Every structure is written in structure tokens, then in C-alpha cells.
Amino acid sequence: MKKLVSVIATALLAVGLPLSAAAEESPKVIRIAFSSAGVGGKPAAASGLLATAHQRGIFEKEFAKDGIKVEWTFFVGAGPATNEALALKKVDFATQGDLPLVFARDNGLSTKIIAKDSQFSRNYVVVPTASPIQSLEDLKGKKFTVQKGTATQLTLNRLLTQAGLKESDLKVIDMVSDSQKAALSTADVDASLQSSTDLVSRGLVRRIFKVDDPKLTAPSQIWVAEEFETKYPQIVQRFVTTLIRESVWSVDEKNRDEQFRLWGKTGNPYSDYKEDFSGSKLRDRLNPLLDEYYTTSIAKSIAEAKQFRFLRRDVPTEGWIEPKYQKAALKELKLEGFWDEFDGEGKRKATASAK
Amino acid sequence: MKYPKKQIVTAIGAALLTLASSANAAPPTTEELLKQLSALRATVDALQKQVKEQADNLEKTRESIPQGAELATTQDVEGVRSQLEDHKYNTARDREYKTALSSRGLTIGGTLTGSYVTSTAPSASTSNNPQGKPAESGFGVGATLSFAGNLYKDYAEGKNLDYRVAFTYANPKLANNNSTNSPALGDTVTRLTDVYLQYSLLQNLGALEDPKLTATFGQQKIPFGLEGQVSDELKPTVSTAQFLGDSNLKNIGHRQIGLIFRGDLFPNADYGFNYRAPLFEYAFGVVNGNGENTTDDNTRKDYLGRVTFTVPADYNSWLRELKFGVSYYGGWKNLNSTGTNFPVQLDNARTIRKGFDISYNHNPIGITYERADGSEDDLQNPGSLTDRRTRRTKKTGQVLTVFYNFGDIAQWSKNLNRVGKFDDFWPTTSQVYYRYDTWDPNNYVNADRTIKQTIGYNLFFAETTKFQIGLTRTEYDRTLGKANSTDLTAQFQYGF
């Protein structure tokens, strides 16, 4: 009987341990994660190059010829959820904001940053319509909801510093995006950072502060898991080249409305994106370049995360940003100089020509 | 300045009349004509300005309308209003006639279980196995039903008062593997399991860094070790460890009625992973000590306590979720001699339980080890009507479980199973495990142990649904005089 038990145990373990299969030239599946989901958990994302790539099915078309499946995941738990997926080796590519990305690096998770997804985002500090709060200074002692561990928390801390406050001066309540809107609607919280217009147009909240200074916000980025990159560099190159090629469609002003309508599949209104991008050139906001603005910004995010005591250690950046795939793609597609570069302050570089 | 249409018409009419009337009278002077002309020019300028403003406004309105969008007419708006009224009517009607209502917030939950068990061990029960055949098998069903909710919601600090009532139905085979194979009538009844109120004594607004403390009063699982209280995240087997059996360390294997405080200190909050791991967790309380659904049988109370220590580690560290725990249960029990005339009755016999456990729940790998020691007083001579002397027996149970998850491995992750999907998506997780479970009913007697080894496979394929199959080999030491046996259990469990 002992023998039987041991035979069955071996068989069961064999079922469970096919994971260390021999290295292959191409993966069977490419797993791409968004650190967000649409309203009510809709499987859609917006406001970035990867979101449009998803809606237009470009990676499916690119990799179908090799029989490689593309799987998309939309984490309601935002960047922290993507980090857990990375820790468990459940994601190959992802887009994330700065703070969760820095947390992942701090925790020893290995990624390579291969492109910016978007930059110069806009946000607003909103309060329930009847609230007496008029300025950032009035937030002292108030209940402010934010999803902790996300880029928005770092933006909040930058804002508070500007107003002479710190996070501990507020009662910061951790909520996911949909819960934040519900709590604002019922005035169970006093304030939040929101980009969506829906609560404003319904008269439930009013905006007291616009956040559009590049020093207060940070770009979102696209990374590849280092393990995947080491194993399949040719797939990473095809991924980046495909993304850059299709990004030309994204930044074409002729496609502005169509793109906003694609993003509207998140359940957020078309007017959100129209207003968010009004006065901005698509080519500036949807700019994949890992330029000086990006490198300065990520270094600043690390320093601020440490200053606000989100980090316990220094986070090294050496070897983290990997522009080689992007450079090769721009060269191959003859798109060098297509996007403007920005300096560390977020200002267009003098050498760049306005397009 | 804006001119209403009527006013403009009046002004132009008046100007023309003035010109006309002046034609019949003395011819106007050049100065008068210039004045009139000037007045007319001002009127025309104002009109032009007004037209331009209206054109600009119209253009702005057009710009704010998405391309291809159609403007709603009054009829459209009336249509929407009418549909909204219909919706409100239907909602109110459905709520009144087709919705289960409760006076407070209520969540109804439960599980349904269908199983098949086959064993090489013959049942001792004549009702199960009237012919005493050397092997038996059978199908079984089980069900649980629970009602839980909130009696007081503290929006400011989250110091909520919650309740839970739960029932279970199980035939003897499914109750747990420690059930006797001789079912009595009472074995196949619906029993009340949980009945308690729970109050959060500390602020609990969901912040990962805040310590927690609750007080739970009523009939509840007790915080002793792992086996008696953990979920399937740490216990992959269908059955529970032998030491929790009715004839073994009974009081820690049953729910108890009493007041128990549970809390934690110095939580390690890692918002980068939405991960919380308290450095210390503690629980202490006082209970009747004689199990569930019964009144206290003596004037003494039993006391219990548990402390765990979790190794502080980052989420991505290999030390994540390495936890050590110690538990204590000190109780009293009644002893009665078997005689009928003025028998010996004692209510100060001790029943002590001590436990030590280690768990390493590092998805996809998991290891748990638990040791429970019990010491029990019994009458030395239970047949005597006068002999009050007692003797103490020491018992030990140990269980080691190793499991490995594969597939989506997201069954117990609140991050990974909350993803945006249109369909009823749930990540699939498979699990293989091995368990080694020993029970020594008397440490002073040699060769009286029972050893159970189980290998099994679990498939979690929906949020609340799982399939489990396990093969158990039971070996008895020679002094027990029992034949070794092999059991196969397969079970589907559906939650709702």
C-alpha cells in the first residue's frame, strides 16, 4: 500500500510540476496587464497607447501568425494587484503608474521599462458640492480618499507639500476607484483626486484645484518582466515595434474622436477624454519616448517616495530603463524625430520642432 | 446690450414714422437727419453685435456636441422620462413582491456538498453495513446555510456590530472523518453551528496599518491552532486532523459558547502589494467548555489563548507568510463513577490543551505543521462508589501538510481574482497535497498510535466551487488490534 501511495503522490506532483518546461523560442501566450479596469470592472482601459492598442487588437494581429495568444488582464486593484501578479510570474507586460512600479523595484521584482504609455495627465481635487472646502489648505483634518500604493497617492503627497501639508494632516482613506466615486456621491468622504467628469456633470462634486503641472504628475510606463525579456528578446522587440507603429495612428489628430470613443468603452463618458485632452496635442500626451523628462521623473518619484516614507531603501535605477527596443523600432519605422523630446522640467526641448 | 425682437421692431418703426412724419412737416435740418442716422446706425450696430454673439454661442454649442451625435428633442426627453417612471414603478413593485427583505443588512451564504466515499474498513454499524462486509462505500450529501450582516454601522470609525447565524446538515460520513461509523439518530440532523455577535473595539476603516481588535460573544470556533479554524487556504484536505476527533481532544475540535477577543499588533502594511501581515496576532477568551448547542455543565469556566508571530518580511521575500503560533486551552470537566448509588462526582478534573504550529503560506507553496498535546484527568477506578482518586493521561496529535498550487493560483488572492471581465470569470487553481497525521491517545502506552497519510488533488474552478479527491491510508499500531484500511473520498462542494 505504501508503494501505491508513493506512486500516486509522484503522479500528482508530476501533474503539478510541468512548470519548469524547457525554454522555448516563442511563448504560447503573451500576458499583458492593465493596472486599472473600466467602470464597474469593465475589461477596458483608456488614456494611453496600450489602451488603444488593446482596443484595436494590434498585438493579436501581430502575433496570430505565430500562433501566439495574447491575454489581457484588467486589475481592479490597480498597480498593487499588478505587482502581486508579477511576483507570482503571472504577467509579462504591463502598464503602471510610478509609485507601484517603484514599490515593485523596492521589493526586488525585476522589470525593464520599455516605453512611456502617456504623460502630462490631468487630475482635479474634487469635493462634494455642498462642502465648505475651497482650497487645498482647507483639506486639513478632512477625510480624503485615494487608493493607496498607486501613482495618485504620490501625486496627492506632492500636492499637499505644495500646500504646506502632509498626508498625516488628513484622514486618508484607502478605496478603489469605483468606491471613491460612490463615497463622494454620498459625501461620506470630504475630497478625492478625480479625472472623470461624470460626478461634476451630475452636480455631485465640484473641482477646487486642477493638477496639470508636469512636476505634480508623472508619466505612466510600459514594462516587460525581466525574466520574459531575457527569454524572448525577439518577442519584446516585436511588441515594441508593433506598439510604436500603431502609436502613429493614436497620435494622428484625425483619429482624436475615434480614439476617445474607443476609450469610452471603459464606461467613462466621451466628454471625459475630450476635456482631458483639450488644448493638448495627442503627440505630446501619447509620447512613448524614454526621454530626459521620463528619466528625471522616475528618479524624482523614487526620491519623493522615500521622502514621504513609502520606501525603506534606495531603489537603484541602473539597467532598469531599457530604450534599445524603442530605438530599434523608431529606426526601423523611420520615425526618429517623430515625437518631441521633453526636458527634466517637462518642457519641450529646444531642439525639437513643433509638429 | 441685448435688444429683444419686439423692441427692435418698435425702435425701427418709430424711426421710420419719425422720418415719414417729418416728410409732411417742415423738412428736417441736416443736423436732425444726422442725429436720426446716428441713432439708426447705433441700432444696426447693436443688432449686428447681437447676431454675432448668437452665432458664436451656436458655434460653441456645436463644438460641445460630439461628431455624429444627434440632439434630443422634447419628445425624446419625454420618452426617457416615461421610461424612467416605468423603471421606478417596476423596481418598487419588484421590491415589494419579489425581493427578500430583512430589517438589517443580510448576506445569505452556504455550501452544498456531494461526495462518494469508499473504504476497505468495514463499518461497525449494523445500520450501515448489516452484513458486516469487509468493505463499504456510499454517497453522501451535506449542506451549510449562514446568515450574516450588520446590526450597527459606524461610518466614522468602523466600530461595527456584526452578527452571524449558521446551520449545517451532514450525514455521519461527511461531518468529518472522525465521525463514528455507527450513526445514531442524532447524527443526521441539522445543527446550529455559529451564533454570535461581533464588535470591533478599535477603529476599522480598512487601513492596512491599523491594528484590529474584536470581541465575539456567542457560539463560535475557538482560536486554537490551525486545523480547527483555518479555511481551505491552509487546509487542503476534506477531513480534519485526528486529534480534533470526538474521542480525542474533543473540546478544541468543537465550537464553544463564550466571549473571545481577537486582535493583532504592529501590522506590516505593504500598499505596493495591498498586503497586510501583522507581526503579532492574539486571541483570548472564556467559554463554557462543553461544546456547542448545550448549556454549561458545571460552575467553572474554561480559558483559552493564542499568540502568533509572523516573520516580518517584504511581500516578495521568501520569508513572506512564515508564521509561528502557540495555543493554550485550560478547562475543567466532570467525572462520574459508573455506579448508581451515591456515585463519585467530581467537577474539578482538569483538561488541558497546548498547541504549537508553523505555517508557511507562500503561494504557490504551502506547508503547515501542528502539534497538539492534551492532558486529561480520569477516575482511577470509575466503577468504585467511593474512590475519588484520579490519574492524568497525556495525548499527542501531530499533523504535517504540504501543498502546491498551480494554474492561475489566484483562488485566495484578493488582488488577482478581482479583474475586469464581462463573463462570470474566475481563475482556476489546482492543488496537490500530502498529509501525514498521527495520533497517540496515551503517551504512557507504547504502540498505540494511529497514522493517516493522505494524498489528494483539489480543483478550484469557480469562486465558490471546488472538487476534491483524496486517498487516505490508515495504519494502526498493533496494540489497537485494528486492521489497516484505505479510504478514497471524492467530493464536490458548491458555495452560494
- B494 contacts B465 by C-beta, under 8 angstroms: yes
**Which of B149, B162, B177 is closest to B243 using CA atoms?**
B177
Average model confidence (pLDDT) across chain B = 86
Q: Cβ contacts (< 8 Å) between A274 and chain B: which residues? A: 66
Element (H, E) at B262: strand B256-270
Task: Report pLDDT for B403.
Answer: 97
Same domain, A105 and A241: yes
Task: Report pLDDT for B408.
Answer: 87
Residue A269 Cα, gap to closest chain B Cα (Å): 11
Same domain, A99 and A192: no
User: A-contacting residues of B 30-89, CB under 8 Å?
Assistant: 66-67
Number of domains in chain A: 2
Amino acid at A339: W
Buried b (16+ CB within 10 A) or exposed e, B11-26: beeeeeeeeeeeeeee
Are β-strands A205-211 and B322-336 bridged in parallel, bridged antiparallel, or unpaired? unpaired
Cell 442725429 locates to B35
Same domain, A115 and A230: yes
Cα–Cα distance, A88 to B321 (Å, whole number): 14
pLDDT tens digits, A125-140: 999 999 999 999 999 9
Half-sphere exposure of B269 (CA within 13 A, CB side): 17
In this structure, which long-range contacts are made by residues B291-297, counting pairs with CB atoms below 8 Å and at least 24 apart in sequence?
A: B291/B250, B291/B251, B291/B254, B291/B255, B291/B256, B292/B191, B292/B192, B292/B193, B292/B219, B292/B254, B292/B255, B292/B256, B292/B257, B293/B191, B293/B192, B293/B219, B296/B257, B297/B334
Same domain, A164 and A251: no
Domain that holds residue A47: 26-119+219-332
Highest mean pLDDT, choosing among A56-60, A182-186, B271-275, B312-316: A56-60
Q: Cβ contacts (< 8 Å) between A102 and chain B: which residues? A: 272
Same domain, A196 and A300: no
Residue A43 Cα, gap to closest chain B Cα (Å): 4
pLDDT tens digits, B400-428: 999 999 998 888 888 888 888 877 788 89
User: B-contacting residues of A 19-38, CB under 8 Å?
Assistant: 19, 37-38
Domain that holds residue B394: 108-495
Residue A127 Cα, gap to closest chain B Cα (Å): 18
Same domain, A90 and A52: yes
* pLDDT tops 70 at residue B3: no
Examine residue A2 and state whether it is found in any structural domain, yes or no: no
Same domain, B134 and B26: no
User: A-contacting residues of B 111-170, CB under 8 Å?
Assistant: 155
Q: Is A178 helix (H, G, I), strand (E, B) or coil?
A: helix
A-B contacts at Cβ under 8 angstroms: 138
A183 versus A197: which is more confidently predicted?
A183
CB atoms A149 and B205 under 8 Å: no
Same domain, A203 and A326: no
Give the chain A residue nearest B435 (alpha carbons): A9
CB atoms A84 and B415 under 8 Å: yes
Rg, Å, chain A Cα set: 22
Q: Dig out the grid coordinates for B29 from the structure.
A: 435740418
**Which of B202, B238, B195, B239 is closest to B218 using CA atoms?**
B195
For A117, A287, A349, the CA distances from A353, given in Å and listed in that order, are 22, 15, 9
Q: What is the CATH classification number for the domain harbouring B351?
A: 2.40.160.10
Same domain, B155 and B50: no
DSSP string, B387-399: ---EEEEEEEEEE
Give the chain B residue nearest A81 (alpha carbons): B415
CB atoms B408 and A43 under 8 Å: no
Phi and psi angles of residue B317, each rounded to the nearest 5 degrees, phi first:
-75, 150
**Average pLDDT of span B247-254:** 86
What is the total residue count of chain B?
A: 496
**Average pLDDT of span B99-108:** 90
Examine residue B343 and state whether it is found in any structural domain, yes or no: yes
Q: Dig out the grid coordinates for A267 from the structure.
A: 464606461
Same domain, A90 and A232: yes
Number of domains in chain B: 2
Cα–Cα distance, B293 to B188 (Å, whole number): 15
Phi and psi angles of residue B223, each rounded to the nearest 5 degrees, phi first:
-80, 75
Q: What is the CATH classification number for the domain harbouring A150?
A: 3.40.190.10
Examine residue B69 and state whether it is found in any structural domain, yes or no: no
Examine residue A295 and state whether it is found in any structural domain, yes or no: yes
**Average pLDDT of span A314-327:** 94
Average model confidence (pLDDT) across chain A = 90
Q: In what order do the strands lie in the sheet with A143-146?
A: A171-174, A143-146, A191-194, A123-128, A205-211
Examine residue B53 and state whether it is found in any structural domain, yes or no: yes
Give the chain A residue nearest B455 (alpha carbons): A9
Does the beta carbon of B257 lie under 8 angstroms from any beta carbon of chain A?
no
**Average pLDDT of span B107-114:** 94
Q: Cβ contacts (< 8 Å) between A76 and chain B: which residues? A: 418-420
A161 versus B463: which is more confidently predicted?
A161
